[in-house]
Every structure is written in C-alpha cells, then in structure tokens.
Structure 1
C-alpha cells in the first residue's frame, strides 16, 4: 500500500513588483569562516527495482545480480511451493512489484512467481522455516477472501449470519441493492460485541489535595485571570450529572503527591512550578476526563498530557506484558514534532515504560520490529500510523489513551482522512486529548467525532496571538532585495545569536543555503526534500551549537524546540497568518526573549490587516507603511466588488481591469 507523506506543502510562487528600498541600520562585522559540514538539500536517490519477475526467475543464480542482493539460501531444505489463484497473483506482486518487495523485506523470505496452469499459479518461497511460515501466512491473508466457503444450506442459516446475501433488498424497480440500514446495524452489533470483550479501562487516578478542594470560586477565578486569562468550560452541552470542572493545582506536589516517582522525575528536570496549561490540565486528565487544550506553542502542552499518560499506562488492570498492544497513542503532524515528543518522553523514566516513534522516512522494518517486541507509547505521524494500522501491525482498538497533538496543523496539512481511517476502530470508552493553537471549525468537528463531554482549557484569548516575549519587527523590501538585506543581517550577527530563516518554498531554502555556504557563512537546512537522517542532523547541529543558522520551510514552524534561539527571520511571509504566529513562537520560549524579523513586500498586502491585529494584541509598534498597505488592499477589494471582479490576494500589487493599485 502506498504511504502517505507527512510533509508540509510548499507555497505557490507569487508575482512581484517594485517596492521601496529597505531601510535598516546594522553594525559591520566580517564573514565567519565555514566550520565544515555542508547542508545542501538534494533530491533523494532511489533505486529503480520494479522488475519483480526477473528477480524471481533469477533467484538461483550465484552471481552478483539483483536477485542475490539479499543473499537468500535457496536449497531444497529451505523452500516451499504453494498454489495461488492466478487472478490473485497481482495482489502478491503489487504495483511495479511494490508488494512483493514489502513482503520480502518484512519476513526476510524470498518469493518466486512461477508458471500458471490457467486457474492457479505456482509460487515458491525461500528462506528459513520461520520466514517461509510468516510469508506464507501473509500471502494467505492477501488471498483468503477469494477462497470460496463450502456450500451451505441457506434454509438453516441464522438470521444474523452476516452473509453477503443478508444485506440485499429489492428497490421499487425490483432491482437488488444493498440494504444499508441492515448492514450498518449488523456492523454496530459486531463492534459492540468486540468492545464488550475488551478489558475495562481505569481512568480516574486523581485524589484532590485538600487545599485545592478548599479554594473558593472567587480565588479560582482570580488565579485563572492572573495566569494568561485561562478560560475553562465544557466544550459542548453541559449535560446534567457531569462533574464540575476541577480547580487548578498550584504546585507539582498537589497534582502528584501520590505518585512520588513522577515527582522525582519532575524534580530532575529542574522545573520550579507548573505552567498555566499544566496547572489546569493535570486535574482534568488525572480524573479521566477528555480534554481540549488550546494554547500557543512553548507553553508546556506536551508535559500536560504526558505525565497523566504514564500514570494511566501503569494503572490498568491487565499487566503491561499481557496486553495485546500499546496503551497510549500520540499523533503529531510532522516528523520533527513526533521526534521532539519522543525526546520529551525519554526524559521521564517511570516503571520501565517504553515508547516508539513512527514516522515516514524512518526505517519501516525497524519500526515494526520495535512495535512487535512490545511498547507502551506510540508516537506517530498520520501517514505512517495509517500505513501500519492498515498493514495490521497495530490494532487501534487496544489504545485507551489517545492524544491528537497540534490538531489544527494536522488538518491544515490535509491529514483528516488518514486520522479518521486510522481511528476507525477505536474503542468508545478511551480517554482522548486534543491540543491545538487555534480553534477552527475542522478541529471542532474532530472533537465532536472522537471526544465525549470534553473540557476545554483556553490559555489566553481564542483570537490568534503571538507570544508576548518576542519583539516583532517588519522590514519593507523589494522582492529582489531580500537576499542582499538578509546577507547584511547575517554578517552583523553577534557570535551568540542563533537564527531560523523561514522560506516559502523548498527550492528557495536550498538556494539560500547554497548562497550562504559559497560566501563562507556556515548554516544548515531543513525541508521536505532532505532525507530524514539529514533533517535530524541539521536540527542536531542547531541544538548543540555546531551551526547558528538554520534555513527552513514551515516543516520547522512547529515541534522545533531550540532553547537559545534568538531570532526568527521570515524571508518569505507565510501564506496563512496562523503560520506566522507559529514561526514567531520558535523564539521567546521558556521565559526568554526573542526577535522576529519579517521581510514585507507588496505581494504580502493581503495579510496586512491580520498582521496589524496580531501586532496590536502584543503591544508592538505598527509601521505606517503596514497601515497604508492594509487600507490600499481593502480599497482595491471594494473597487473590484463594484466592478464585479471579486476580491483576492491581488497578485502583482492587486492589478485588475488594466489598472495598477499603489500603496
């Protein structure tokens, strides 16, 4: 089956037009010499191994051809012949030989497609006895639905047998059609039967501290206002019989005093007090409630859902080594965020709990092996998760604690079909957590589908806002002057400065990286065209200080935690204003300050009004040029509406009807 790519889509090219010259003042400094590592983002080189029949028929050769690259032992004692329906051989081969390669990789067996007698085809399996047994089972699974069952006496069938004929009816025209009501009812009955046979889930582990329980409502309201104006409510209808929202905890001890090992792990990290989202989320999650946490990046959301997950794993009735699969699933939109969560999980050692990170670009076979050996937490991107669920390496029904992290980003990247497909079989009594930086309609739709009476915690306003520890600066430049101004900025960087340069396209990121290296300015690049190992190396070089400049696309706008990042430069303004907020949020984290510098061209005038709102909310200076851009764009839209042309982004400065609008 095809794997879904978990990559951010690059921006479309935008036309340019002349703009005023850049204005800024810098201090001079010489170029820094290169310290070695190259960082060019090249296309991946893949071998073309599509001739599956040649590979099979040459399997007995002793030469160095393609058929010997896996060095299978093909002798009489290590082979087995099976017969497969000829019209089903294509299922074993797959498109271009993809399935046969997947079977061989997964089982360490060798498959040779032989001759056909018309109805059946001879298939020879080579390898160790275990490998042959495993690959034979997989092949049987691919073809078993085509093995006809023996004839049955239809008069003796049970009314609930589930045979295909049971779900047909005649419509008004006398044509036989599917009776969907009956089929859906049968499916619901089967699912209910499966769920009833599962072990019960224990979700409530919260013992409220007396001081927390005694907090008067006025004190709770005052605390929430003082901590980023936290808003807490039931997301949907507040049904009768639901417990009131728990009060926030103020100290780590109030949340985890009954779990001293968790407290020890927290102390090891050197934290002084919980963040606002943690203070309110921990009582909710430890009590077993579903939670929607809406807060900006860098506010401690990962730890908010992780520590209750550890307690949930250890507190179930079935011992961990006797469970049929992992207990906790954490879904993340990008590889980088998935790896960042996995890194965070590894910091907290609690009763031998193990995790695995599943993502596209990683070693699929190795990931499957780790899962098969037994893990407690699965951290996955939607594409790879869907891949392994559909290949039956993971059974989603076994998860009892599910987290959809950065749900808005997953929807922006088009992953809703994969999410729904992967979670199709999820048990209804699980505990579900969803985090998001915004609250769009798509996220609300997901919450309605997968959550039961969730409590929503908003840290700060629901309006889009950038973190207040970042100074947001704008520079108005012509499109052709961007590189020159960027180079001047980088030349005058301080030695301790650390910068991420965001580009709208992968090609732009590659070009900027190349130009900087040619000028002796050492940097790294991070974008979707780079191999996963190169992406991890680039991020590692930034984290450990090997390089101080990272050129990236929006794949790095979330899930990248570089604690000493001082600057974010938006070389290209993002297509969506939400992405601007997330880019800015890469700096100014964990109480530190940072600077976000955005290059603004005439092509960006459609974002001017939204950008003004964000700057105003963060008490930032609003340049007159930005206000003028916003007014000109709004005037252009009104004029087009009167002329019947509609509004738009106004490419090339909003030219329309033979006229050019100026700002």
Structure 2
C-alpha cells in the first residue's frame, strides 16, 4: 500500500493471476495482451465479498461489509492526501477503512448502518468503474482473452515473444473504433471577407512587415494538399461579421482595431487549423484564442446541455495566469457560455461543485486538472478545443509530464492552440506530439526580445546598497505611478514588504508562501489602485495584467534571462510606455552578454559597465577552460561604477 496517496498510473497490461473464488463472489480479471485467458467477462473490474465466506467474520452483530478492490484503483478511493476517502465518509455516513494489500486486491471495510454501507458501496463502485468497460471498449470484451493470444509469436530461437506489430495494430484498431463512436467536431466557421480575400501578396507582405514583422508559416511541413495560409483581417468586422454578439462584446471593451497577433490568428483558428502563436506578453494573445473558442463551443452539433463534458480546455502554468484568463473570459457574455477556473490552493469542493453543474470552458493549472480527472469529477474525453497558454513557462516549471498525462485521453481530432513567448526545443517537441499541421505566427523576432515600449535602465550597485537605492526610487515616485518590485526569493520579498511598511510606505506582496486568498486580494488591491506598490517573486512575471503599471524594478536580477523579458513585459502593455529599472551586482555578470543582446535588439543604450562585465565573464570562462558553462560566482573585478543609472 506504499505511496497510494500519491498520484498513480493505471496499467492495463497486467498478466491475469489465478485466484480461488468463493461462491458468492464476482471474479476480478486484469486484461492481458500476453496470454490467453478463460476468465469470464468482468463488467466492473472489482469484486464484492459478503462476510458469509469471509475468513474474518464480524464479531457479534456488527454491520460490516468488505469490498475487494483492485489494488491499482485504491488510489482513487483514497484521493490526494486522503481527501477522497474523507469525502466518501462524510457523504455516506459510513466508516471506511483500507486494509492491507494482497497484491492483486485490497480489502476495503465498510462499517455503519445498512443504508450507510449501501451508499458507500455504490459510491466506491462508481468511483472505480472503468469507463472503457462502460463504453464497450474492446479491451474488456469477452473475447479479448482469446485475441490476446494472437499477440505472441515464436522467434528464431524457439522462444515465445510479444508480436509488437500485431499488438500495435490491435491498439490502433481499438482506438479508432473508440473515437469513431464520438460525434464529429465542427471546426470551420470562417467566411472570408471579400476585401481580405482580394488582398495581393504584396499587400499582405507589406502589412506583416509593418506590423511588428509578423511571420507566418507551416511549422513542420507545407504539403501541397494543405490549404493556403489565410490573409490577415484588418478590422473586427472582417473576422466576426457573422457574429454580431461577439462584435458587440468587443466594442464594450473599447478596442479600436485588432492587434497583429489577433489579425493573423483569427482567420486561422476560425477555419479550424491548429495554431502556434509566438509573441511577447501584452500583445493580445488571450483574446486571439478566446473569441474563436466561444464560436467553436456554440457551433457544435450536439446541444451544450446534452454534452458529456466541457468543450474547451485552457491550460496555464500558474494560478495567477489562470485567474487572469478566467477574468478575461468573464468579460465576454456569449450564448450563456459558462466557465470555471480550477487551480491548486483554491476551494476544491467549490470547484468540483461548479464543474458538476455543467461548464463549457475549463481554465486550469496542470496539477489540479489531473487531480479532478483522476478523481472522476471531470470528463476530458469531449474536449475539442485545447489551449496550452505560455507553453514555454509550463515546461520551465516542469509540467511536461502532467501536460502529457492531461492530454493522454483527449480525442485526437481536437483543435489545438499553443502560445509561447519563446520557441525553445521543448515547446517544438510538444507541438510535434499534440498538433496536426499547425500554422505558426511569430510577432517580432524569434530571438529573445523585450517589449520595445519599455525603457530599460540599469543601476550598478553593491548587494548591500540595493535597499537604499530602492527607497530613494520609491520616495521619488509620482502619485500616479504604479510599480512591481521583483525579488529573487520569497524571504526577500517578505523582508522588503516589512521594511516598506515600517517606513510608512503602503504596499502589497505576492509570492508562493501566501495563502491563495491573500494573493488574490493583493493583486486586486494593485489593480483597483488601493496600493501602487507590489513586491513579488516571479509568480507575477507572466500573465498578470495590471492597467497603467508604469514601472518594474528588478531588485534581484532573475536567474534566467527569459524571466527578465517577462518581468519587463509587465509594463509598456497595450501600446503604452513603461520603465524597467534593474539593480546589477557583481553576482549578475553571467547574464551580461545576454542582456546586451536584449538592449541592442530594443535599440537601447548599452552601458560601458555592462560591456566590461561581459568581457570579464568571458575572460573568466577562458581561464577556466569552461566555454560551455553559463554560470559562476564573481571572483574579482566588477561592474564598474556604483549607483549610476542608465
């Protein structure tokens, strides 16, 4: 029973084990591709055992019943941290105890009134029921044992081995039958405006060049049988003339014209293609995938109230970004489409309750999504439009296994959208796995670049001087200025917040050690202007949209240069300007070379101190014979003059 409270992986390819069966028992059989089986069909994949033939009969007149459950499914009953078994006890009024495992099966003892035991038994039966058996999947069919014998062959040495070709072919056949039983997905809702259709190649090329150098291409292979890449739309009407309710919602938000990513993404998504959108923060990526999602939901053949689950899944790397997307979705009222935001740290029971009532859009972090899917609170098989937002950040945070786990059982003919600020190999690998003939839209260079509407300033200081320079900066702020101060560690963020409060400077803090409710309150106070200063770690570096944010201060320079770009991108959004001030110490010399490239790309002045720092770091690597390693501590020399601002 070790580690059963952790996440588990179900393994459907276990060799059946012979078991003596009592007269009043149902037999539990595991499927096997390995050897023929004469076991009868098992519809529920679990076995009840009354105490009549039990080796441990109850004492006196106790009301007890023992269920023998497949050991691999006990995790569903326990839940993460014991959450599910507590819920079962509470709802059934029965006492539920998990016994020792016998290997194949584990005894679950139910105690209480007859009604309580019956309720608990029904709940457990539903919880561990195999959906594939329920759907009539061939894996659980009566003749699967006979078919499994076909997956062996005798090799040249006379040894019986698995015939992988036959096994894979059988798997493909079963999967095809499974997906063919689902209703088709309607994807193409696009009616091209005549003005858009009649744009010449020169006009399209000129528009893309003058709108932040938009680049559009097939990511992997441009085959002759694929449709041409559509021209960009130049107005909201050209994209949504068939959807006046959508246009009305857009105008409510005060938008005048589409952003470059929206102009090119909407025709691609509305006609049903997969899309990879690569653009910096603040360029309108959320609205680019959201409005086509609303039309996709309403355009399916099966009425929404008759669908078995939500249609749209939006995966985000952090709680803050998930909440931000949910707020954006809530701004657009279309056909009474409902959404829910599920994330760790939020009220799990309330999230489950909202999902149970029926929703169309699920915005989730990978961890909580897997939690609800494994606990059978969320059916993902009907997701037909999936968005991986800020995919590069999700991979940076180590979510790739959870993403793959989430998408394992989603239908393969779905429409998939991926957004990213960068295009590293990991994101490309994810796109190859889960996207079909995607069209890639790059706004600006693929090289790492900061938002051009932000003025980047550097101050070269000693570590112990940073607090004094920060206080000087804050005391000279204007009343209408808003600033985020980024710190490298949660403890430093807490320390800075405390020091500012002691000096009478009102501020809020946002980092991982704070309760989710406190984090939301801090962000709301910053958004509504209750406070103008937010001290934060990198949980605030992406996906958070604070209107009229004028300054970003990097109190600690980030450990990865990509985070510098995302921090800076919190200001200068939606065409406005901003200022980013970074304190640079000797310990930051490993980033000097990359920072020079970012400043040059943004046509900003490169301080001589930064150039000297980069040269010293390269010289140190040469001395160590370590050209390929990108880090180290500053041994001597330094960052030039102190306290100078550029």
Task: Decide: shared fold, TM above 0.5.
Answer: yes
CA shift at 1:569, angstroms?
0.5
- How far apart, in 2, do the equivalents of 1:508 and 1:287 lie? 49
Correspondent of 1:124 among 110, 117, 120:
110
Q: Is the 8 A contact 2:85 2:96 kept in 1?
A: no
Normalised by the size of structure 1, how large is the TM-score? 0.80
Asked if 1:111 corresponds to 2:95, the answer is: yes
SS at match of 2:377: coil
Q: Is the 8 A contact 2:5 2:82 kept in 1?
A: no
Correspondence for 2:67: 84
- How far apart, in 1, do the equivalents of 2:545 and 2:240 lie? 26
- How far apart, in 1, do the equivalents of 2:205 and 2:106 lie? 74
**Number of equivalences:** 569
Q: Is the 8 A contact 2:151 2:167 kept in 1?
A: yes
CA shift at 1:575, angstroms?
1.1
Correspondence for 1:209: 193
Asked if 1:140 corresponds to 2:121, the answer is: no
Matches within 5 A, 1:153-164: 158=143, 160-161=144-145
Stretch moving more, 188-197 or 275-284: 188-197
SS at match of 1:651: coil
Correspondence for 2:10: none
Q: Is the 8 A contact 1:603 1:650 kept in 2?
A: no
CA shift at 1:194, angstroms?
1.0
- How far apart, in 2, do the equivalents of 1:616 and 1:232 lie? 25
CA shift at 1:136, angstroms?
2.2
Correspondence for 2:500: 516
Distance change in 2, residues 1:277/1:244 (3 Å): same
Correspondence for 1:403: 387
- How far apart, in 2, do the equivalents of 1:271 and 1:120 lie? 60
Correspondence for 1:283: 267
Distance change in 2, residues 1:266/1:167 (3 Å): same
SS at match of 1:652: coil
- How far apart, in 1, do the equivalents of 2:160 and 2:64 lie? 42
- How far apart, in 2, do the equivalents of 1:457 and 1:498 lie? 32
Q: Is the 8 A contact 1:475 1:598 kept in 2?
A: yes
Distance change in 2, residues 1:507/1:322 (3 Å): same
Distance change in 2, residues 1:558/1:97 (3 Å): closer
CA shift at 1:481, angstroms?
1.1
Gaps of 5+ in 1: 5-75, 146-155
Correspondence for 1:301: 285
Asked if 1:438 corresponds to 2:447, the answer is: no
Gaps of 5+ in 2: 8-60, 131-140, 640-646
Correspondence for 1:196: 180
Asked if 1:604 corresponds to 2:585, the answer is: no
Correspondent of 2:537 among 550, 553, 567:
553
Asked if 1:631 corresponds to 2:612, the answer is: no
CA shift at 1:637, angstroms?
1.0
- How far apart, in 2, do the equivalents of 1:269 and 1:450 lie? 33
SS at match of 2:472: helix
Asked if 1:618 corresponds to 2:602, the answer is: yes
CA shift at 1:183, angstroms?
3.7
CA shift at 1:646, angstroms?
5.7
CA shift at 1:585, angstroms?
0.4
Q: Is the 8 A contact 1:109 1:128 kept in 2?
A: no
Stretch moving more, 563-572 or 182-191: 182-191
Correspondence for 2:632: 651
Per-residue CA shift, 1:522-567, capped at 9, x if unaligned? 1111111111101100101100111111111111101110011111
Correspondence for 1:384: 368
Asked if 1:224 corresponds to 2:205, the answer is: no
- How far apart, in 2, do the equivalents of 1:221 and 1:256 lie? 23
Stretch moving more, 167-176 or 595-604: 167-176
Correspondent of 1:476 among 460, 475, 478:
460
CA shift at 1:364, angstroms?
1.2
Matches within 5 A, 1:301-340: 301-340=285-324
Per-residue CA shift, 1:553-600, capped at 9, x if unaligned? 111101110011111000111111111000000001111111100000
- How far apart, in 2, do the equivalents of 1:122 and 1:615 lie? 63
SS at match of 2:344: coil
Asked if 1:262 corresponds to 2:246, the answer is: yes
- How far apart, in 1, do the equivalents of 2:171 and 2:122 lie? 26
Q: Is the 8 A contact 1:526 1:552 kept in 2?
A: yes
CA shift at 1:391, angstroms?
2.0
C-alpha RMSD of matched pairs (Å): 2.9
CA shift at 1:161, angstroms?
4.3
SS at match of 2:381: helix
CA shift at 1:90, angstroms?
6.7
Q: Is the 8 A contact 1:603 1:652 kept in 2?
A: yes
Asked if 1:502 corresponds to 2:486, the answer is: yes
Per-residue CA shift, 1:397-426, capped at 9, x if unaligned? 201101111011100111000000110012
Distance change in 2, residues 1:631/1:122 (3 Å): closer
Matches within 5 A, 1:18-33: none
Q: Is the 8 A contact 1:563 1:590 kept in 2?
A: no
Distance change in 2, residues 1:134/1:387 (3 Å): farther
CA shift at 1:620, angstroms?
1.1
- How far apart, in 1, do the equivalents of 2:530 and 2:114 lie? 46
Q: Is the 8 A contact 2:272 2:415 kept in 1?
A: yes
- How far apart, in 2, do the equivalents of 1:120 and 1:233 lie? 54
Distance change in 2, residues 1:115/1:263 (3 Å): closer
Correspondence for 1:369: 353
SS at match of 1:396: coil
CA shift at 1:101, angstroms?
2.3
- How far apart, in 2, do the equivalents of 1:127 and 1:366 lie? 29
